[in-house]
Structure 1
Amino acid sequence: MNVHQRTQWRKDPDGARYRMRRSFPAEPAHATVLLAAPGTVSILDGQGRDDRLLDELTERLVAGGAQVLTCDMPGHDPNSPSTADDQGVRAARLSQLLDAHAHLLVQPLLLLGFSLGGQALLRLLRRGEPRQADRVVLVGTVVEEDVFINSLVSSIDLVYGSLDLVGYMADSDDQNLPPAVFAPDMYGHWSASRLVGRRSFEVRVHLLEGLGHTLHPCGPGPSSDPLPALTSLMSTAQ
């Protein structure tokens, strides 16, 4: 299908320029999706496999009648941990993205974040932005400490590829100890238990077989197609 798009430029407080994009159907939209990309995706017109997944997902969401809001993000070295400054810029840009399209927002409002994008969404929700979201879906987002959600949300879905293993170095002076490695069937439920709020909400954990961190096949054997699963989770019919 043809996806209609409108792009506008904005500036960070330090003067860095970035783009915001609204993708929408020909007919009036019946939902708004705020899409926060992972650290591997920094620009709206990238060519990597994560870019292609987000493009295909956007097309599906628009085909289902939603408008999708997204923006450029700061580049991130995959071999280095994310910094607080990087996370702050991501959250600030998402906040500006919502503010810039406030006059065009169509309810329900759905939030979808991948990896670092999911962490940025949690940062917003922790400070009460947006005031209310109808559904939150976080992909590959590990929650390592309690997060108090100040926004009103009805549900949070945590989605992980079944082969997305997380390793931690042993907290010991013995440098010969191997790292502890956990699978999402374990750390997913730990993450769910760390999400709390001033009003109760449902937290669900979903595992997609044969997929890695950003939901691409990464091992032998069959693998799930992430697009139908994500589209279903973002459906307003739930």
Structure 2
Amino acid sequence: MNVHQRTQWHRDTDGTRYRARRSFPAGPARATVLLAGPGSVSVLDGQGRDDLLLERLTGRLVAQGAQVLTCDMPVREPNSPSTEADRRTRAGRLSRLLAAHRHLPAGPLVLVGFSLGALALLQLLRSGEPRQADRAVLVGTVIEEDAFLTSHVPSLDLVYGSFDLVGYMADADDETLPPAVFAPDMYGQWSASRLVGRRAFEVRVHLLEGLGHTLHPCGPGPSRDAITALTDLVGTAQ
């Protein structure tokens, strides 16, 4: 199935230009998916493993009848920590992307984010934008503090690759404590317990075997098909 696309230029409040893209099927769309990539992906036409995964996911979702909204994100230096300004910019662009397409309603609204993109979506949900979404799928998101969701999302899925290990350095004042490393079967449940909202909602934790932080195969043994797992969670298929 061919993916039809429309790309438009926009500006941040500081004047920085960036592109927003709508990918859609030939016929009427049955759902809208707001897709936010990880920090490694900054432009819509980038090249790399994460870009290819997002391209394949977009193609599968469109083939199942969804329109997919995405946009350029701020360039981030590799291995450098995310800044508050970076997170604000990401959330702001996603908010404006949704607002620009409110005249094109198409069934359920689903939010899908990877790593920093997932944190940006979580920031939107905490601020009340959108007012309501039908579900959210957040990949590789560690939630270390209570997050109160002002938006209403009846179903929220936290997705982790089984090899996505998270390390924490010990207290610098106590040299007897070794660094701690946690697997997603532990920190995933911690993250789920920190999500609260105005109304009750369901939080589910999924571990995808043989995959890493942004759901690429790593380590020994078989691995799950990330695209199939994500499209099943998004639920656009009839």
TM-score normalised by structure 1 residue count: 0.97
- Distance in 2 between the 1:192 and 1:89 partners? 25
Say which is worse superposed, 14-23 or 174-183, in terms of deviation.
174-183
Say which is worse superposed, 1-10 or 165-174, in terms of deviation.
165-174
Residue 49 of structure 1 corresponds to: 49
Note the alpha carbon deviations across 1:177-234, whole angstroms, 9 max, x for none: 4310000000000000000000000000000001100000111111111011001001
Superposition deviation, residue 236 in structure 1: 4.1
- Distance in 2 between the 1:124 and 1:177 partners? 37
Superposition deviation, residue 169 in structure 1: 0.8
Residue 167 (structure 1) aligned with residue 167 (structure 2): yes
Superposition deviation, residue 13 in structure 1: 1.1
The one-letter code matched in structure 1 to 2:198 is R
Task: Report sequence identity in percent.
Answer: 76
- Distance in 2 between the 1:172 and 1:17 partners? 42
The one-letter code matched in structure 2 to 1:23 is S
Residue 217 (structure 1) aligned with residue 217 (structure 2): yes
Superposition deviation, residue 81 in structure 1: 1.1
Residue 121 of structure 1 corresponds to: 121
SS in 1 for 2:62: helix
CA contact (8 A) 2:160 2:206 kept: yes
SS in 1 for 2:174: coil
Superposition deviation, residue 14 in structure 1: 1.2
The one-letter code matched in structure 2 to 1:103 is H
CA contact (8 A) 2:39 2:115 kept: yes
Q: Once superposed, which parts of structure 1, at least 4 consecutive aligned residues long, lie more than 2 Å away?
A: 174-178
SS in 1 for 2:33: strand
CA contact (8 A) 2:209 2:223 kept: yes
Residue 21 of structure 1 corresponds to: 21
Note the alpha carbon deviations across 1:80-128, whole angstroms, 9 max, x for none: 1111100000000000101111111312100000000000001000010
Residue 76 of structure 2 corresponds to: 76
TM-score normalised by structure 2 residue count: 0.97
For these two proteins, the number of residue pairs brought into alignment is 238
Q: How large is the Cα RMSD of the aligned pairs?
A: 1.2
- Distance in 2 between the 1:237 and 1:6 partners? 23
The one-letter code matched in structure 1 to 2:41 is V
- Distance in 1 between the 2:207 and 2:100 partners? 34
The one-letter code matched in structure 2 to 1:106 is A
- Distance in 2 between the 1:31 and 1:8 partners? 21
The one-letter code matched in structure 1 to 2:32 is T
Residue 203 (structure 1) aligned with residue 172 (structure 2): no
- Distance in 2 between the 1:12 and 1:200 partners? 34
Extract unaligned runs of 5+ from structure 1. Answer: none
